[in-house]
């Protein structure tokens, strides 16, 4: 008894000190929180002053010509009302698809204001309370101004102001999780092991959908802290940005658990996230002990091993590269059965579309493996670029996406140095930039936006790929270490803060020792659309003249006559003027040499104030090469003599990236009317015979296919001749490759096989199509894995020749398939059938969200649109059902907005153009697809021009080939 009494007394003493210690700790925490809020207030007042001084009305979203209250005349929130902290409670009912919630927002007003406005969308507000010093403010009214998605809180007494100081908003609300797959939503999947449909609750807020989940200040310039309480069924898992602090069982009712998450670091609303479901994780840690967990629904959890193996290594790489530690206590990565984007960089809880996260050896393709690595690397890079440092306003979206798109290659190269991933940049981001930014309907990297639809449209290849491309060029002329140091300084200075493009230039400028004006140079690339073509002219044995002009995809097809072009596109409001008159600061690098082995390199600048410059190499040369490695963002227009000399005498001096860039330029220059015809390009493409280097084929692939598609419509009698040309180009490479795919093979070798096979089958190399059919039939007759990583090409080209019975078998396989990558491959195959009735059947079946997920729906329309038999069917469907599709997916959906590009990509006559215009006139609001409409129309005009200008010349060349 004495011993027990002593133990009991000891426990009481221990408890006493624990309580006292806890009170002291809580006091310290509270003190730190209070200091943080004071700092936020001071910083907020400073930023408000800076914003008001530096921004014009267009940047602040002021509606020109509007007379009335600011909640009506401004698309932006009041920068003097600063949210400091959110307490968010969400109670989702998975069975009914509804959710209820409450948010308490601590505010600081930097000056007296007439009203307080914040964002909501598709929420029912049940009550709104405003408090000062815990006392409720009386005589207020709150209402929705739907046009601007504002919840406005005003005094009922006229002329009364909310005075400068601290406030708390307390708002109760409810919403629906079943209508969209943004905001808070419910996603379904079928669990074959349990033989039942199951659900997860997920969130997707970027760019402007946090307001669908809770009332908030939904702009990137507001960084706040967040405390979340989420209700989950007790048998399911719930994760969020931060670790779990505590849980209350059987709350708010038996069978449910309320999960309390730790208070977050300061971040923006679109980074808030949570997910509820039957998840299983694969756990690992970084070398310094940071927990990294990869979650998936239980059936798919075994397939995230690859993701779990590379994610910690990428975190370690970025911590070392940026010289800034990942600031959160954990990193979770989660696959969601239905996710509208490829992935989303929620801080501490990155959400993925499942097909970008799972990898199954022996089943998934090499492309799938590369894609998983790329998306993981991209999203983890965002933990610094985008999350730690956040853009001040969406004008500078490229600061997030361009940097992450470039850094992803560095992350992959760290994990897989054997992949030659830097070459892949030329095949992916560089190629997308050259293609899209050559159009009249492009836009600058940095441009003013205010409406949510405009913001959504910015998430395109210009922000991502062109952003990455100019960063790559910037790093090259700065030097790798100077660039890295500048980026590290930038991130350190703007940790937990907001930045604009100029802030980055200022940080990088400090690392440049030469007389190089980073801001001026890069502004010529960010503030005007397009890019140059550089033409070298040999003056004598030591001198070369270089000239620059803007490159157009179709010079003379409308671009040289803007008024004529604009009359075809009445909805197009693109400014055709440029602050630099479409001239660029170009870092020109030239390699040169003699046949006896002497070599040299020079780097010089072509200024935006002149369109030509003469360069004296100081020595005789037999050959020269501009832009080695194609690091600079420009095309090169060598003269015919030089091109033939390269092909006949100098090809050994050209690396694979150099050959790739030259071949791509030759096709594009011919297409754009910079050269007489396609003869040089088609002759140079002969270097592909017997070639098995992925990058070379990828650089020619799109051009070769496009010529074939346009010839097939223009000159059906000549098309077989082009087929024979293509068969001759591809057959030797095809014969050298086996239809085998193993994990042990080099990634580039794995990638080239489906590329060659697809080209061979498309241009009707019969042995290719026959083998595809044989493999498809064998796979349907056997439970063995006979396809490996060739499923994509087998499903497409096997189904191209299939009958009704085979189509039904493949459909049955699709319905029973759980693997998200395999489901997409099967849908693509099903859409390739050359039977109009079955195409219509697929289109009808796809209307059911339980059959084809919303995230995959526009993919199905695209796949059908790529099928010559299916294109008129899906186009008529799209026209006739446009209103229903708009109502279902929303005019603010970029995926709905962009599908018109896919469906009309091969339109090439005036009747088809008129059909497109008629549709746009009937439904003039393009929403988040406004730019896509411009791209679609310009592409059709260019196709019409190609048929009238180039087809006869290609025909003539083919006859003489």
Q: In what order do the strands lie in the sheet with 135-136?
A: 135-136, 124-132, 165-176, 98-109, 81-93, 225-233, 256-261, 244-249
Q: Give CA–CA dist 597/584, Å, rounded.
A: 34
Q: Is 427 left (phi over 0), alpha (psi -120 to 50) or beta?
A: alpha
Q: Give CA–CA dist 47/420, Å, rounded.
A: 44
Q: In sequence order, which residues have a C-beta less than 8 Å from that of residue 618 and are 6 or more positions away?
A: 542
The 3-state DSSP class for residue 146 equals helix
Contact assessment for residue 211 and residue 121, using Cβ atoms and an 8 Å cutoff? yes
Q: Give CA–CA dist 193/340, Å, rounded.
A: 26
> Tokens for 940?
């059709």
Nearest to 465 by CA among 403, 421, 423: 403
The 3-state DSSP class for residue 482 equals helix
Nearest to 833 by CA among 864, 876, 794, 792: 864
723-744 burial: b if 16+ Cβ within 10 Å, else e: bebbbebbbebbeebebebeee
Listing DSSP states for 97-113 in one string gives TEEEEEEEEEEEESS-B
Give the H/E segment covering residue 592. strand 586-593
- DSSP secondary structure letter of residue 834: S
Q: Give CA–CA dist 466/385, Å, rounded.
A: 17
State the catalytic residues.
Answer: 379
Contact assessment for residue 379 and residue 401, using Cβ atoms and an 8 Å cutoff? no
> Tokens for 811?
């459909």
Q: Give CA–CA dist 769/760, Å, rounded.
A: 8
Q: Give CA–CA dist 505/346, Å, rounded.
A: 26
The 3-state DSSP class for residue 386 equals coil
Tell me phi and psi for residue 806, to 5 degrees.
Answer: -65, -40
Q: Give CA–CA dist 863/622, Å, rounded.
A: 49
Q: Give CA–CA dist 704/241, Å, rounded.
A: 47
| Owner of token pair 């650089």 | 699
Classify the C-alpha dihedral 821-823-825-827 as positive or negative. negative
232 Cα distance to chain centroid: 31
> Tokens for 934?
């411009």
State the pairing for strand pair 543-550/612-616: antiparallel
Contact assessment for residue 354 and residue 336, using Cβ atoms and an 8 Å cutoff? yes
Contact assessment for residue 359 and residue 372, using Cβ atoms and an 8 Å cutoff? yes
> Tokens for 431?
């190629």
């Amino acid at each position: 008894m004495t011993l027990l009494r002593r133990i009991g007394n000891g426990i009481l003493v221990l408890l006493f000190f624990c309580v006292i210690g806890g009170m002291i700790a809580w006091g310290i925490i509270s003190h730190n929180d209070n200091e943080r809020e004071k700092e936020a207030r001071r910083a907020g007042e400073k930023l408000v002053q800076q914003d008001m001084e530096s921004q014009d009305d267009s940047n602040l979203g002021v509606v020109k010509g509007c007379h009335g209250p600011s909640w009506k005349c401004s698309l932006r929130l009041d920068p003097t009302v600063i949210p400091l902290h959110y307490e968010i409670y969400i109670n989702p009912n998975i069975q009914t698809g509804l959710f209820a919630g409450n948010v308490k927002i601590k505010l600081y007003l930097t000056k007296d204001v007439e009203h307080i406005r914040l964002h909501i969308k598709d929420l029912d507000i049940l009550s709104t309370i405003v408090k000062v010093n815990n006392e409720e403010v009386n005589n207020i009214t709150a209402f929705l101004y739907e046009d601007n998605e504002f919840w406005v809180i005003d005094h009922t007494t006229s002329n009364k102001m909310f005075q400068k100081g601290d406030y708390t908003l307390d708002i109760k609300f409810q919403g629906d999780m079943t209508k969209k797959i943004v905001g808070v939503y419910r996603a379904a999947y079928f669990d074959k092991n349990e033989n039942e449909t199951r659900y997860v609750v997920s969130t997707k807020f970027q760019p402007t959908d946090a307001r669908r989940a809770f009332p908030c200040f939904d702009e990137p310039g507001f960084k706040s802290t967040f405390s979340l309480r989420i209700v989950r069924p007790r048998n399911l898992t719930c994760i969020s940005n931060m670790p779990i602090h505590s849980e209350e069982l059987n709350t708010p009712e038996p069978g449910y658990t309320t999960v309390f998450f730790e208070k977050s670091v300061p971040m923006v609303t679109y980074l808030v996230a949570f997910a509820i479901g039957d998840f299983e994780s694969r756990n690992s840690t970084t070398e310094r002990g940071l927990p990294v967990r990869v979650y998936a629904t239980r059936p798919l959890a075994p397939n995230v091993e690859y993701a779990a193996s590379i994610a910690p290594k990428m975190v370690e790489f970025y911590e070392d590269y940026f010289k800034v530690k990942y600031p959160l206590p954990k990193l979770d990565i989660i696959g969601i059965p239905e996710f509208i984007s490829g992935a989303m960089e929620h801080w501490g809880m990155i959400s993925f579309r499942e097909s970008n996260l799972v990898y199954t050896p022996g089943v998934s393709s090499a492309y799938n493996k590369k894609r998983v690595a790329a998306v993981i690397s991209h999203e983890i890079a965002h933990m610094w670029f985008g999350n730690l440092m956040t853009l001040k306003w969406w004008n500078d979206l490229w600061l997030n996406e361009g940097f992450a798109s470039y850094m992803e290659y560095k992350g992959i190269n760290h994990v897989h140095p054997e992949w030659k991933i830097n070459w892949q940049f030329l095949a992916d981001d560089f190629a997308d930039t050259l293609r899209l930014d050559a159009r009249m309907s492009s836009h600058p990297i940095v441009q003013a936006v205010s409406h949510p639809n405009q913001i959504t449209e910015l998430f395109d290849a210009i922000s991502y790929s062109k952003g990455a491309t100019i960063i790559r060029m910037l790093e090259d002329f700065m030097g790798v270490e100077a660039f890295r140091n500048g980026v590290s300084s930038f991130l350190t200075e703007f940790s937990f803060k907001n930045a604009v493009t100029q802030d980055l230039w200022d940080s990088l400028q400090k690392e440049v020792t030469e007389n190089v004006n980073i801001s001026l140079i890069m502004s010529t690339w960010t503030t005007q659309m397009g890019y140059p073509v550089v033409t070298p002219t040999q003056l004598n044995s030591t001198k070369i003249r270089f000239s620059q002009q803007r490159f157009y995809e179709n010079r003379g097809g409308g671009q040289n006559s803007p008024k004529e072009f604009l009359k075809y596109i009445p909805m197009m409001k693109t400014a055709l003027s440029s602050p630099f008159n479409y001239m660029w600061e170009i870092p020109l690098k030239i390699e040169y040499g003699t046949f006896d082995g002497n070599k040299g390199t020079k780097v010089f600048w072509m200024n935006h104030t002149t369109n030509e410059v003469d360069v004296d190499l100081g020595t005789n040369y037999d050959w020269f090469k501009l832009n080695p490695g194609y690091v600079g963002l420009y095309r090169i227009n060598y003269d015919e003599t030089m091109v033939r000399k390269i092909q006949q005498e100098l090809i050994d001096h050209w690396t694979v990236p150099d050959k790739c860039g030259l071949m791509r330029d030759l096709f594009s220059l011919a297409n754009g009317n910079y050269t007489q015809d396609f003869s040089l390009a088609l002759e140079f493409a002969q270097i592909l015979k017997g070639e098995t280097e992925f990058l070379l084929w990828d650089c020619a692939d799109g051009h070769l296919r496009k010529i074939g598609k346009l010839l097939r419509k223009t000159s059906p009698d000549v098309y077989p001749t082009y087929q024979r040309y293509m068969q001759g180009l591809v057959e030797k490479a095809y014969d050298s490759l086996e239809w085998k795919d193993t994990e042990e093979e080099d990634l580039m070798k794995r990638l080239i096989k489906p590329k060659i096979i697809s080209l061979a089958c498309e241009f009707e190399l019969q042995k290719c199509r026959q083998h595809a059919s044989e493999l498809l039939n064998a796979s349907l007759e056997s439970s063995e894995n006979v396809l490996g990583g060739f499923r994509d090409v087998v499903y497409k080209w096997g189904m191209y020749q299939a009958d009704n019975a085979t189509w039904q078998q493949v459909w049955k396989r699709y319905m029973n398939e759980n693997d998200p990558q395999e489901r997409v491959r099967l849908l693509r195959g099903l859409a390739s059938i050359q039977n109009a009735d079955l195409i219509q059947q697929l289109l009808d079946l796809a209307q059911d969200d339980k059959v084809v997920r919303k995230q995959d729906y526009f993919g199905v329309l695209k796949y059908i649109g790529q099928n010559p038999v299916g294109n008129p069917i899906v186009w008529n469907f799209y026209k006739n059902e446009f209103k229903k599709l708009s109502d279902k997916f929303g005019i603010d959906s970029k995926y709905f907005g962009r599908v018109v590009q896919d469906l009309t990509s091969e339109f090439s006559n005036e009747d088809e153009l008129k059909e497109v215009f008629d549709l746009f006139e009937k439904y003039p609001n393009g929403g988040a697809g406004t730019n896509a409409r411009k791209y679609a129309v310009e592409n059709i005009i260019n196709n019409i021009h190609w048929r009238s200008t180039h087809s006869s010349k290609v025909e003539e060349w083919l006859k003489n080939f």
